[in-house]
Amino acid sequence: MTDDDRSALDAFSLADGIFAAAFSASPTPMVVTDARQPDNPIVWANTAFVALTGYGLDELRGHNCRMLQGPDSDPAEIRRIGGAIAAARTIECELFNYRKDGTPFWNAMTIAPVRDASGELAYFFAAQADMTDKRRFEMAMRGTNDELERQVDARTADLQSALEQKTALLHEVDHRVKNNLQVISSLMLLKARRTPEGEARDALQSMAERVGALSTAHRMLYSAGDVSRFNLQDFAADLLADLSVGLEEDRTRLESEVDPIAVSAAMAAPLALMIHELATNAVRHAFPGGRAGRISVTARRDGEALHLVIEDDGVGMSATGTNPAGFGRSLAEMVVRQLRGTIRWDDASPGTRVDISVPLESGI
Amino acid sequence: MTVAPAMRILVVEDEVLIALELEYLLQDLGYETVGVAGSSAEAIALGRSTSPDVALVDIHLVDGPTGVDVARALSADPRTTVVFMTANSKRIPEDFAGAFGVIAKPYSERVVASALTYVAERRAGAGPGAAPDGLSLAPNA
């Protein structure tokens, strides 16, 4: 230590005495630079600072602190420190610095100006800390978080794509089913056109109509957006409109009173088929020989059951002899059995009344 | 009473059975089918050469979901009213590609009949009353 240095440190009470002893022994690395000498050189450093940097006291003294900087020291942070020094402001900062042996460390420090008795800037005092472990921990945490986020993103993308695939598949299947129903219906109608008038032709026509009823159910099931529910009211309106084509309105009246009942998708096709059979039977067979009359379809929810009544004031079952409505009737009975319901046929004199009750949530 | 000439209709449908049956149905209803096309190129060419009053256009054709392009091309001719006929309404763009409306498959003969009657009335200048059921109109129709 030169005499100049000593006098400087005397002013700072660092050369001797209680402060010097305390600072020298402090586990916190500390350094003092002389603001009045050119380039602000180090004039004092404690043992902890020597241990932190790996430089001996002799190697440090007389040099500016930038001797610790290296290729990866952040220039912006260095500029910030330079600004604070020039303005004699206190600054807290963290810099990637290098030890004598070249190993880098995160050097946190607080640099404070020290003024002499006259208030003039004399020294800078800096307390240091090695933040390398903390930094490493932060980096590791950030890495872990990034990895977790990446994994969550990847899974979400997988699920999203699986959902999109499922939706696309549903649309495709829906489209195929509808198109095939149209093809089947066209096929039967084409064959009917080429079949001479008579029983065979009627059978083909009836089959095409049954397919039509199933088509209506299918169309409504998927167009409503909810593929698991089916509105019986909409279906009945559509079906009866199809049925009324070709009826002379002043001769045969079709009436319906169907509540907006949601039925499960599994019930849609059987119910559609059954209502179609019964209503068609009435239209075909209840009013022979130009007889006038009325057909009504009523459906309402009765607790947990769907209560359906199809009624006409035509000639009645007994009058139809060998029962030309036989196939439609057994079809209706089969469907009711499938739906675990009950069906009752009554001669309503005049006409026929069919009473059907099926459980709505039969778990089919 | 004057009888308007029957509407001339172009059928754009790749499923031959559906197309053939539809042709018969149109004949039963008193319309004239001017052609049947199964691909987009065929449809656009037939549209140019026949200038139909109405084109019934399926979305899925031999060359893919090209019915939308067909609708756009055919509706460019102000003489032609395009109506989609499809089981795949979800593919119709928001502006309906210039089409007037859509008939959902599977359709019934009644729906086709009432839809075409409605189209004929609108083409003859009738106001936009309620569309018959089975025919969904484009937003600007």
A182 contacts B87? CB cut-off 8 A: yes
Provide the pLDDT for residue A14. 57
Q: SS3 for B51-104, per residue?
A: CCCEEEECCCECCECCHHHHHHHHHCCCCCEEEEEECCHHHCCCCHHHCCEEEE
Spatial CA neighbour of A44 closest among A73, A2, A86:
A2
Amino acid letter, residue A310: I
Provide the pLDDT for residue A25. 87
C-alpha atoms less than 13 angstroms from C-alpha of A34 in its C-beta half-sphere: 20
- Binning pLDDT at 50, 70 and 90, where does residue A6 land? low
Interface test with B, best of A172, A185, A233, A244 (most B CBs within 10 A): A185
Q: Is residue B1 predicted with pLDDT exceeding 50?
A: no
How many CB atoms sit inside 10 A of residue B125's CB?
6
Yes or no: say if A238 and A244 are a contact pair by the CB < 8 Å rule.
no
B55 to A62, B74, B85, B112: CA distances (angstroms): 95, 8, 10, 13
Averaged pLDDT for residues A215-239: 78
Provide the pLDDT for residue B2. 47
Provide the pLDDT for residue B103. 95
Indicate the burial class of B84 (C-beta count within 10 angstroms; 0-12, 13-18, 19 or more).
buried
Say whether the peptide bond before residue B106 is cis (omega within 30 degrees of 0).
yes
Spatial CA neighbour of B55 closest among B84, B97, B16, B18:
B84
CATH no. of A3-130? 3.30.450.20
The share of chain B scoring above pLDDT 70, in percent, equals 97
Provide the pLDDT for residue A98. 94
Indicate the burial class of A280 (C-beta count within 10 angstroms; 0-12, 13-18, 19 or more).
buried
Name the segment(s) of chain A with CATH classification 3.30.450.20.
Answer: 3-130
B22 contacts A186? CB cut-off 8 A: yes
A190 contacts B24? CB cut-off 8 A: yes
Hey, what's the torsion of the CAs at B94, B95, B100, B105, to 10 degrees? -30
Say whether the peptide bond before residue A350 is cis (omega within 30 degrees of 0).
yes
* Chain B residues near residue A187 by CB distance under 8 angstroms: 17, 21
Yes or no: say if B85 and B36 are a contact pair by the CB < 8 Å rule.
no
Spatial CA neighbour of A361 closest among A298, A299, A303:
A303
Averaged pLDDT for residues B20-49: 95
Window 130-189 of A, Cβ < 8 Å to B: 171, 174-175, 177-179, 181-183, 185-187, 189
Yes or no: say if A30 and A127 are a contact pair by the CB < 8 Å rule.
yes
Cα angle for residues B99, B29, A205 (degrees, 5° grid): 110
* Chain A residues near residue B18 by CB distance under 8 angstroms: 179, 182-183, 186
Provide the pLDDT for residue A69. 93
* Cα nearest neighbour of B111 on chain A: A242
Torsions phi, psi for A289 (to 5 deg): 65, 40
* Cα nearest neighbour of B109 on chain A: A242
3-state secondary structure of A240: helix
Asked if the C-beta of A66 comes within 8 angstroms of chain B's C-beta atoms, the answer is: no
- Chain A closest-CA separation from residue B115 CA (Å): 13
Q: Is residue B32 predicted with pLDDT exceeding 80?
A: yes
List the domains of chain B with CATH numbers: 8-137 (3.40.50.2300)
Interface test with A, best of B27, B92, B110 (most A CBs within 10 A): B110
Fold of A230-359: Heat Shock Protein 90 (3.30.565)
* Chain A residues near residue B36 by CB distance under 8 angstroms: none
* Euclidean distance between CA atoms B101 and B103, whole angstroms: 7
Asked if the C-beta of B60 comes within 8 angstroms of chain A's C-beta atoms, the answer is: yes
Pairing of β A42-45 and β B81-86: unpaired
Provide the pLDDT for residue A363. 46
Q: Which of A182, A218, A242 has its CB closest to that of B18?
A: A182
Q: What is the mean pLDDT of chain A?
A: 86
Provide the pLDDT for residue B140. 83
B106 contacts A215? CB cut-off 8 A: yes
Spatial CA neighbour of B74 closest among B140, B8, B4:
B8
- Binning pLDDT at 50, 70 and 90, where does residue A227 land? low
How many CB atoms sit inside 10 A of residue B47's CB?
25
DSSP per-residue string spanning B4-53? PPPPEEEEE-S-HHHHHHHHHHHHHTT-EEEEEESSHHHHHHHHHHH--S
B24 contacts A212? CB cut-off 8 A: no
Per-residue model confidence as pLDDT tens digits over A27-80: 999 999 999 999 999 999 999 999 999 999 999 999 999 999 999 899 999 999
Yes or no: say if A282 and A298 are a contact pair by the CB < 8 Å rule.
no
DSSP H or E stretch at residue A189: helix A132-193
Sheet of A305-312: strands edge to edge?
A: A252-258, A293-302, A305-312, A352-359, A342-347
Complex ipTM? 0.83
Asked if the C-beta of B87 comes within 8 angstroms of chain A's C-beta atoms, the answer is: yes
Per-residue model confidence as pLDDT tens digits over A77-114: 999 999 999 999 999 999 999 999 999 999 999 999 99
Name the segment(s) of chain A with CATH classification 3.30.565.10.
Answer: 230-359
Interface test with B, best of A167, A169, A178, A180 (most B CBs within 10 A): A178
A193 contacts B87? CB cut-off 8 A: no
Hey, what's the torsion of the CAs at A160, A166, A171, A177, to 10 degrees? 180
Interface test with A, best of B13, B16, B17 (most A CBs within 10 A): B17
Spatial CA neighbour of A219 closest among A186, A261, A175:
A175
* Chain A residues near residue B90 by CB distance under 8 angstroms: 171
Q: Which of A175, A189, A218 has its CB closest to that of B21?
A: A189
Report the residue count for chain B.
Answer: 141
Per-residue model confidence as pLDDT tens digits over A250-300: 788 888 899 988 888 888 888 888 998 888 888 888 888 778 888 899 999
